[in-house]
Amino acid sequence: MRLSSERAPVVLLGAVVVAYLAVTHLTYVFTAVLALASLVVVLLAFLPGDGHVPRWAISVAGGLALVALVWEPPVSNVVTTPWLNVGIAVGAVTAAAVAMLPWVPQRWWWVVLLVLAAGYVLVILGGPPLIDVWVILHDSALGLLRGLNPYEMHFPDVPAEPPVQTSNCFNYLPATFLLTAPSQWLFGDVRWLETGYLFGAVALLGWHTRRWPLALLVGALPGTLYVVQQAWTEPMLLLGLVAGYVLIERGRANWAIVPIALALATKQHMVVLVPLLAFWPKFGWRRVLVTFGAAAAVCLPWVIADPGRFRTCTVDFFLFAPMQNRSVSFYQLIPAPLGTLVVVAVLALAYWLVIRSRTGFLLGAGVVLVAFNLVNKQTFLNQWVFAAELIVAGLAVISTTPVGDTRDPFPE
């Protein structure tokens, strides 16, 4: 089966609506609306067709990104400077340009790419965020210079408001601080490298597919400027998966182990994508084992240094911490005894749909993460935006080549 040409725009707009609802905070009141939009993406992504995304759908998606930025600009949880408003204005221009790009000569893609980068830079210059993730990445980078173990550190500068997840644990995997610390050391802010990863993913996707309107839409989706501003770590994951995909498609499958392993060693929930990798014939289960081993090797020094603290911060924190009422998911509605069973069942259904559909790894990864987000204990804006980015990236990939050669070959 292949993605329907009639339903491809529905999938695209469904993904954009998910990001739109997340960033405009409507989901905190209407979680069911977000769930319904997610369900549209999951169910309609796997019906027959050629996967062509029409120009009008990209224009509507760009328009939604513009409306979201005007409706809910990234002005909360940040110490603002005058540059922030300029960055938001440039971001609005980018969204409008993405909406128009399908209707103008493709040679203008590089102008939109530069405007996209300018918006990112200006938003970072717009002020430091008031959020736990930025503080723990900042402090852990400085701690590494002093020979400290980030998993043994506490972070007293984490702001008390808005409600935060942690101030006494570094609750990500080691690649998170390894891939951002150089930015703090050299440029004084971890967001410069994080934003470079996001920009790199967009540029790499556009270079590989030559479908610049969709590639640029990945970088201009609702919520992306907020992700840049708040120092969320999903840009590292996006670049890792996109780079891995491109390397495999260009005959460098062994090299793809490196970026994918780094993605696995960045955030814990990336493990839900491992079954997809195992069923992806161009990658295969042997490379999955090597990739998993490489990710474990990245983590090993800190496991050995303090196994108890590492487990507390990276495993126990997520499994046993109290339920987050702000989580934009159905988890809080699931009876406690059924929580694990429901998560496993939903993921199993998503795997079955993706493997059966032959829609390719990036789109499949986006759909699996949508399913996981629906039932995850802690799902927030950044996770929904990341899932939407992967779905749009997946559409760019499968829309690149002629019908019959648009997807990874899955065995009959």
Q: Which residues pair with 159 in a beta bridge?
A: none
How high is the pLDDT of residue 14?
82
407 in a structural domain: no
| CB neighbours of residue 69 within 10 Å | 26
44 vs 354, higher pLDDT: 354
Count the domains in the chain.
Answer: 1
What is the Cα–Cα distance from 17 to 84, expressed in whole angstroms?
25
Q: Residue 53: helix, strand or coil by DSSP?
A: coil
**Residue 202: band (very low, low, confident or very high) from pLDDT cuts 50, 70, 90:** very high
Angle at the Cα of 390 (from 385 to 393), degrees rounded to 5?
Answer: 125
State yes or no: cis peptide before 162, omega within 30 of 0: yes
How high is the pLDDT of residue 38?
62
337 in a structural domain: yes
How high is the pLDDT of residue 170?
94
3-state secondary structure 260-290: HHHHHCCCHHHHHHHHHHHCCCCCHHHHHHH
Determine the average pLDDT of the residues in 281-302. 95
**Residue 340: band (very low, low, confident or very high) from pLDDT cuts 50, 70, 90:** confident
411 in a structural domain: no
Q: Is the pLDDT of residue 228 over 70?
A: yes
- Contact assessment for residue 380 and residue 326, using Cβ atoms and an 8 Å cutoff: yes
Q: What is the pTM of this model?
A: 0.92
Q: Which amino acid is at 132?
A: D
Q: Is the pLDDT of residue 184 over 60?
A: yes
Q: Is the pLDDT of residue 401 over 50?
A: no
How high is the pLDDT of residue 328?
79
| CB neighbours of residue 295 within 10 Å | 24
**Residue 360: band (very low, low, confident or very high) from pLDDT cuts 50, 70, 90:** confident
335 in a structural domain: yes
Determine the average pLDDT of the residues in 243-258. 95
272 in a structural domain: yes
Q: Is the pLDDT of residue 77 over 90?
A: no
Q: Is the pLDDT of residue 138 over 90?
A: yes
245 in a structural domain: yes
409 in a structural domain: no
Residue 172: give the domain boundaries: 8-398
405 in a structural domain: no
Phi then psi for 282, rounded to 5 degrees?
A: -70, -10
Determine the average pLDDT of the residues in 79-89. 94
How high is the pLDDT of residue 307?
96
Burial of 128 (0-12, 13-18, 19+ CB in 10 A): middle
Instruction: Tell me what percent of the residues of the chain surpass a pLDDT of 90.
Output: 61
**Residue 35: band (very low, low, confident or very high) from pLDDT cuts 50, 70, 90:** low
